[in-house]
Chain A
Amino acid sequence: MSLLASLAAQAAQPVTSVLVETPSVDWWGLLPLILLAAPAMVLLHASSLLRRVFRGFYATASVGIAGTAAAFAIVQWFRVTDLDGGRGPYTTVASAYTVDGYSVFITVVLCVAVIVSSLVADGYLRREGLDGAETYALLLLSASGGVVMASANDLIVLFLGLEVLSIPVYVLAASHLRRSASQEAGFKYFILGAFASAFFLYGIALVYGATGSTNLGTIRQTLQDDPFVDGGALLLAGAAFLLVGFGFKVAAVPFHAWTPDVYQGAPSPVVSYMASGVKAAGFAGLVRVFDVTLAGQVRDWQPIVVGLAVLTLLGGSVLAVAQTDVKRMLAYSSISHAGFLLVGVAVASPEGAAAVLFYLAAYGLMIGGTFAVVTAVAGPGEQATGIDAFRGLGRRQPMLALGFTVLLFAQTGVPLTSGFFAKFGVIKAAVDGGWYWLAAVAMLSAVVGAFVYLRLVVAMFMVEDIDPHHGDGDVVAATPAPVAMPAALTLALAATVMATLVVGFLPGLLTDLAGDAVPVVLATLP
């Protein structure tokens, strides 16, 4: 009765129309995000309104949009790093969104991933008869989600970014309408991804329950003031659930089961984006939540992340050895690379975070080029993805084989390629942190992984391509058709190979940037 009475009393009072205070928004800080998302929607609707466009219009537009966003992000870089009297890192939208060197770095990595995927997708979509704006619009929207994830200073915003990142990729994985493998990939990725998102959300709820806030800065402050807050068990459970969500996105063992099936079934240009873009965004969130926000709880989460890293390193490279399908093999190799990145996260130092950034940038470029080659070699309908398809490529198309070899060597970690410095940075961070055995495991995994990449190189250059189905001597029938190389794909391949080599010869270009990005993230959250 008293409840009813109080409700009636409330209703009787006139509604006071006090204006809700809306947070101030620094539009300049959000510009790269807006420049990715808004033109993506314009592109999508232009495709439905325009009747005729010139060939390659959508890919050109996509590259242009991602390039513009990257350019503005680079302008921002000088503003948020304190090098030349910039204002330094700051948060906006009620301190839910951070603009710092770290988020800007990841933004550029994501834009580059979109550019490479778009260039590869151009020829691919035309070859498969799927040309349209949808693929590019979804790539750009997914990248905008990744930018939100890298910039989030609030767990809810982080979750929104994660979903905006993931949902377009679910659709993209299933976007080859006539390949049932692609449909299957999309379905598996969606079901498991939604499952992982639920874990992530539950983790957010538990962390909120333990600390009373979803803001990363406030959480960090609360934990600093009182390291054993009421409900420490809640915090640990929440962190564990968050780790499951991230582990799924970055394909860490034991949350990796979706990776080979999805990589094999999804269109190759999309897989290129998954391996470079989605992984970068996932690690961006992982580093910000664990290395920065939960820095004080490092003793609690470090053993788990180290365990994940070891499992991922060894699981990825050992299982890759057993594969005969190149796309599956690269899926397991990407798991192994995630292991190296996890080593960088696990050591929980600025050097480790810098090594992760460098690794993400270098790996994004080399995997983009690698999948460009796979797209070209696999041919119509992505039929030829076995190792056999690469036999004798070195004699038939030496330039293509040479470019692919450089990218494979980079993934192996051969010196004078960017891959060497990526692995070196992570292992050095582990050694500096006193994790000698972890560094040893990482090196062991690199040795096992080398077999995988070298097997492809051997197939290209050292195996006679005699068709096993024909008898001995029937060499004429054995020569396969040459691999078609669309101009955009060639451009993407050449650019990624060049970047891999340039960073390999002059690693300082990128290590300095990664180093500048990291202390910012580790020191200056409110």
Chain B
Amino acid sequence: MSDFLRSYLTVGIFLGVAVVLVSALLGLSSLLRPSKPTPQKSIVYESGVDPVGTGWAQSQIRYYIFALLFVVFDVEAVFIFPWATRLEAYGLFGLIEMGIFIFILFLSLVYAWRKGVLRWV
């Protein structure tokens, strides 16, 4: 076994210990504990209150669309901040690149606006 793989041995041992420990504890507790199932015990746990209604709920589609628009600006921020900290190092090339990037993202905003996404219906 190479040194490279040997350094992963710790991970393997950790994994083995985790599996053995968890299965030993769970197995022990299932041997020792009493088992008295009731219908009350198998309903969904909701902080001790009986659940109301079903688990399926609809949410407004506009939240989804706003989430998508948020991603646009989120991605923009993710790339602009590291670039801004090293502004000088990338020089004119970086400026033009970032300009193109922001322009493309700006176009997506224009697209969303023209398609009427920004109106709160």
Contact = CB atoms under 8 A, between A and B. Distances in A.
B104 interface: yes
Contact of B93 (A22, A230, A233, A234): A22
B89 A17 contact: yes
B23 to A, nearest CB: 27
Contacts of B119: none
Q: Could you tell me the dominant secondary structure of chain B's interface residues?
A: helix
A226 to B, nearest CB: 13
A135 to B, nearest CB: 15
A18 B104 contact: no
A48 B93 contact: no
Interface of B: 2-5, 86, 88-91, 93-94, 104, 107, 110-111, 114-115
A41 B88 contact: no
Contact of B114 (A18, A48, A209): A48
Nearest to A20: B89
A231 interface: yes
A71 to B, nearest CB: 25
Contacts of B86: 20
A92 B94 CA distance: 19
A48 B110 contact: yes
A231 B5 contact: yes
A230 B4 contact: yes
B100 to A, nearest CB: 10
Nearest to A210: B4
A1 interface: no
A15 B115 CA distance: 46
A15 B88 CA distance: 10
Interface residues of A, number: 16
19 contacts: A15-B88, A17-B88, A19-B88, A19-B89, A19-B90, A19-B91, A20-B89, A20-B94, A22-B90, A22-B93, A41-B107, A45-B107, A45-B110, A45-B111, A49-B110, A231-B2, A231-B4, A233-B5, A234-B4
Nearest to B111: A48
A444 to B, nearest CB: 42
A49 B114 contact: yes
Contacts of A231: 2, 4-5
A44 interface: yes
Nearest to B85: A15
Interface string A12-27: 0001011110100000
A44 B107 CA distance: 10
A287 B62 CA distance: 44
Contacts of A44: 111
A15 B89 CA distance: 10
A208 to B, nearest CB: 13
The 6 closest A-B pairs by CB, nearest first: A48-B114, A17-B88, A20-B89, A48-B111, A231-B4, A22-B93
Contacts of A41: 104, 107
A44 B108 CA distance: 9
Nearest to A48: B114
A424 to B, nearest CB: 46
Contacts of A49: 110, 114
A411 to B, nearest CB: 40
Interface string A38-82: 000100110011000000000000000000000000000000000
